[in-house]
Structure 1
Amino acid sequence: MSRRCELTGVGPMVGNNSSHANNKTKRRYLPNLNDVTLQSEALGRGVKLRITAAALRTVDHRGGLDAFLAKSKDTELSANALKVKKAISKIGNAAALSADA
């Protein structure tokens, strides 16, 4: 399992540890990943994702998983999140077509 957020694409960063004597050694800053189940109103079910704590706050701020995925770029999303986004847009398009008829 990769250490990458499925919604924002955030991954590990590289930096230095700095000792008291100012010696530098390489280190990795890992993202704060959490396994969560987010509810999709359009699909009517939960979706399991591995996302950062910051992404979870952003999802809440934007009004849920459906609204977050509608605004997000496809290049940032994982394959699993892309499938969910396509399914949500498919249901949205079908609902819009039935409302016009």
Structure 2
Amino acid sequence: MSRVCELTGKAVMTGNTVSHANNRARRRYLPNLVNVTLISDALGRSFKLRVSAYGLRSVEHRGGLDAYLAKASASELSDRALTLKRAIAKKTAGVEAVVAA
């Protein structure tokens, strides 16, 4: 399982750990990934995703999984999240067509 957030695309970064004597050693900065279950209102079911804590706050700030995926760019989403985004868009497009008629 890779260390990449499925919603924001946050991944491992590298850098230096610097001692008091200014000795430098390479290190890895890992994202704070959490396994969460998010509920899609449009599809009426829940999905298990591996999301960073920052990504989880972003989902809550935008008003839920559906609203977050509607605004998210496809380049930062994982394959699972991208298929979820397409399914939600397809479902909401069908609902809007029924309401407009």
Relative to the length of structure 1, the TM-score reads: 0.97
The size of the alignment, in residue pairs, is 101
Structure 2 counterpart SS, 1:50 = strand
Cα distance between partner residues in 1 of 2:78 and 2:42: 20
**Stretch moving more, 68-77 or 19-28:** 19-28
- Displacement of 1:21 in angstroms is 1.5
Task: Give runs of aligned pairs for residues 1-101 of structure 1, distance below 5 A.
Answer: 1-101=1-101
- Displacement of 1:6 in angstroms is 0.4
- Displacement of 1:55 in angstroms is 0.6
Letter in 2 for 1:41: D
Structure 1 counterpart SS, 2:83 = helix
Letter in 2 for 1:9: G
Letter in 2 for 1:96: E
Q: Deviations over 1:48-90 (max 9, x none)?
A: 1101001101100100000000000001000000111011000
- Displacement of 1:19 in angstroms is 1.4
Cα distance between partner residues in 1 of 2:54 and 2:9: 12
Cα distance between partner residues in 2 of 1:28 and 1:18: 13
- Displacement of 1:3 in angstroms is 0.4
Structure 1 counterpart SS, 2:25 = strand
Structure 1 unaligned segments of length 5 or more: list them.
none
Structure 2 unaligned segments of length 5 or more: list them.
none
Structure 2 counterpart SS, 1:90 = helix
Cα distance between partner residues in 2 of 1:20 and 1:100: 66
* Percent of pairs with identical residues: 57
Letter in 1 for 2:71: K
